[in-house]
Amino acid sequence: MVDRPFALTSSNLVRGVAGRITTREDGDNPLYPAVNESELLDKTSRYLVNFGAKFSPDIIVASKGLYVHTASGRRILDWTSGQMSCLLGHGHPEIVSVIASHAAHLDHLFSGMVSPPVVSLAERLITQLPPGLDKAFFLSTGGESNEAAIKMAKVYTGKFEIVGVGGSWHGMTASALGVQYHFGRKGQGPTMPGMLMLPPPNAYRSPFRTADGAYDWETELDYGWQMVDHMSCGSLAACIVECIQSSAGMHVLPKGYLAALKKHCEQRGMLLIVDEAQTGVGRCGDLMASTHYEGVIPDILTLSKTLGNGLPLSAVVTSTTIEKVCAERDFCFYTTHVNDPLPAAVGDKVLEIVLRDNLVDHAREMGEILHQGLRRLQSRYGCIGDVRGRGLMAGVEIVSDRDTKLPAFDLARRIGARAYELGVWANLSTHESFGGTFRIAPPITITQAEVEQGLALLEEAFASTDGTMPLFVSA
């Protein structure tokens, strides 16, 4: 039995609406100073399509720094950076300035026109990447960039089969969804032909184990490729993978996995596509998470989310050789917003700030504090089955029994609801395929005090929710 690690004080908690505990600040909202929340919630139900996610019970009227603000006056610590995207926090003043100036003077152009921010972003990005990632172009969403990368691999290799990884999330467009073995595949008939799957690299739950119980990812990966070879019609073009499978529950690729995956691809004449939608641009303590794996350079790298700090911006990066061959074979991914100047200017400023302010190192340092705190929580609450991640990406999986690892979905929902009530938003995946895991990914501008504040609020959520199995002696 141990003591509880975190304390909440009157300095960081005040009583909010209807007696709820909240971390809020009073003040007028310059954009929506007065809204009728109940009326907006009613109109939400009447006019908005349900696209596969439950809407928040609050109307959000402002976002600033690491916080979002509700119409009822509550301030919520945003530990998911919006949709894992606001890498530098909401409303960063330099980003705001870039948006305003380009909205006024250089916003959108004919797709074949070139502008200074597009060239500057390409140069800044490419000069920070290893040789072999030599050329880039820019699109809007992660799904779009993965779609383009898959098409590029097909054009380059002249083949059409694409291998994905169980538990992956790559987007909602046709080919990206075809290799997304997680959620969103139902109700539309067959996906794209030639889509094959490797086992999910889930160290916590995989049945592949060595004699001492350790995760045997090498045997699992070899077995997966044997199945792929059996299923393939002989037209293997590429494999696409995330370095950390966020949507699956923040599962980190084991050391050596990416290198082994690259070797399997080379043996079959395939390209390796690495999707760094959430892991790219410093969040994991490396500028690109793929560079954490020594000597592994993807054939195609895709970026999105973090590159635009919440604006729709994505990138496809590849080698000069692949770009040349694809151009000769009439590769086409012509869209309305390809290489748009305004989002490119934002991406260029994001990279400038990350590099200038040493935010990659900062993310690594704050990540160590975050993970230490989460592991302390694990030592104090028996419902926490696993803590994993790297840098400022973390997963906390909730179980009803640590020995059987039986998921505790209802308990996880109640903990998440309590945390939100207290004033911290840590995304809990409600689909069972996510495994009842909290996904934590705050802006990399977060301070140590803000990390500790969030940990304190999570501690209070666990302490005040029935069924969390405390392992400490109450005071």
- pLDDT at residue 365, rounded to an integer: 98
* Whether the predicted pLDDT of 2 surpasses 60: no
Domain ranges of the chain: 94-356
* Whether the predicted pLDDT of 17 surpasses 50: no
- pLDDT at residue 433, rounded to an integer: 60
Radius of gyration, alpha carbons of the chain: 23
C-alpha 278: how far from chain center? 3
* Whether the predicted pLDDT of 431 surpasses 80: no
Average pLDDT of the segment spanning 424-452: 85
Give the pairing type, strands 236-242 and 271-275: parallel
Distance separating alpha carbons of residues 121 and 138, to the nearest angstrom? 9
Catalytically annotated residues: 169, 242, 275, 278, 305, 439
φ, ψ dihedrals at 278, nearest 5°: -100, -25
Nearest CA among 69, 83, 62 for reference residue 23 = 69
CATH of domain 94-356: 3.40.640.10
Distance separating alpha carbons of residues 416 and 418, to the nearest angstrom? 5
- pLDDT at residue 22, rounded to an integer: 34
* pLDDT tens digit sequence for 40-66: 888 988 999 988 777 888 899 999 999
Cβ neighbours, 10 Å, residue 27: 11
Mean pLDDT of the chain, nearest integer: 90
Nearest CA among 207, 202, 212, 205 for reference residue 242 = 202
| Per-residue 3-state assignment (H helix, E strand, C coil) for the chain | CECCCCCCCCCCCEECHHHCEECCCCCCCCCCCCCCHHHHHHHHHHHCCCCCCCCCCCCEEEEEECEEEECCCCEEEECCHHHHCCCCCECCHHHHHHHHHHHHHCCCCCCCCCCHHHHHHHHHHHCCCCCCCCEEEEECCHHHHHHHHHHHHHHHHCCCEEEEEECCCCCCCHHHHHCCECCCCCCCCCCCCCEEEECCCCCCCCCCECCCCCECHHHHHHHHHHHHHHHCCCCEEEEEEECEECCCCCEECCCCHHHHHHHHHHHCCCEEEEECCCCCCCCCCCCCHHHHCCCCCCCEEEECHHHHCCCCCEEEEECHHHHHHHHHCCCCCCCCCCCCHHHHHHHHHHHHHHHHCCHHHHHHHHHHHHHHHHHHHHHHECCEEEEEEECCEEEEEEEEECCCCEECHHHHHHHHHHHHHHCEECEECCCHHHCCEEEECCCCCCCHHHHHHHHHHHHHHHHCCCCCCECECCC
Question: 187 in the Ramachandran plot: left (φ > 0), alpha (ψ -120 to 50) or beta?
Answer: left
* pLDDT tens digit sequence for 192-234: 899 999 999 999 999 999 999 999 999 999 999 999 999 999 9
- pLDDT at residue 295, rounded to an integer: 81
- pLDDT at residue 26, rounded to an integer: 42
Distance separating alpha carbons of residues 171 and 177, to the nearest angstrom? 6
Please say whether the beta carbons of 289 and 257 come within 8 A: no
* pLDDT tens digit sequence for 275-299: 999 999 999 999 999 988 878 999 9
Given pLDDT bands bounded at 50, 70 and 90, which one contains residue 12?
very low
| Angle at which helices 320-328 and 142-157 cross, to 10° | 70
Residue partners of 99: CB distance under 8 A and separation at least 6: 311, 342, 346
pTM, entire model = 0.92
Average pLDDT of the segment spanning 133-162: 97
Given pLDDT bands bounded at 50, 70 and 90, which one contains residue 474?
low
Average pLDDT of the segment spanning 464-473: 90
Given pLDDT bands bounded at 50, 70 and 90, which one contains residue 19?
very low
